């Protein structure tokens, strides 16, 4: 089992940037599919971005495309989400997820990830 801890959230004005981090412990995540999801109050978790396995391929929601970048540092067992040009609708709790067996067609479905962090709050003011 892997433990995931997110950090880097906070309050930022619209147009600003934040970098979220997700650090894993318990085992290496170098070959896992790693993803970020956003949960707004009263809503289900929404796919934001994904690094598929160790292939280096990245996938983004339409909202995140062009503004957010997901990356990983294998030496630090950490995944990042660089968020630029933030908008008020980006507000919510961001969760990091990991899975070692998920298939490509399921990467945007939160139900298929086995490991989750506790989340980090991002608030974008207008």
What's the pLDDT score for residue 18? 98
| Distances from the Cα of 87 to the Cα of 73, 75, 81, angstroms | 27, 32, 15
What's the pLDDT score for residue 88? 97
13-65 per-position pLDDT tens digit = 999 999 999 999 999 999 999 999 999 999 999 999 999 998 889 999 999 99
Q: How confident is the model at residue 1 (pLDDT cuts 50, 70, 90)?
A: confident
Residues 70, 51, 121: CA angle, nearest 5 degrees: 50
What's the pLDDT score for residue 106? 96
Q: Extract the tokens encoding 5.
A: 């801890």
């Amino acid at each position: 089992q892997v433990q995931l801890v997110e950090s880097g959230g906070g309050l930022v004005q619209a147009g600003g940037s934040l970098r979220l981090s997700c650090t894993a412990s318990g085992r290496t995540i170098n070959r896992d599919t790693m993803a970020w999801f956003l949960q707004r109050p009263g809503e289900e978790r929404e796919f934001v971005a994904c690094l598929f396995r160790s292939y280096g391929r990245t996938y983004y929601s339409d909202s995140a495309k062009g503004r957010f970048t997901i990356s990983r540092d294998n030496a630090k067992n950490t995944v990042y989400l660089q968020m630029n040009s933030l908008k008020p609708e980006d507000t919510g709790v961001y969760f990091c997820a990991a899975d070692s067996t998920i298939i490509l067609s399921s990467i945007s479905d939160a139900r298929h990830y086995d490991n989750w962090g506790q989340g980090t709050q991002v608030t974008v003011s207008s």
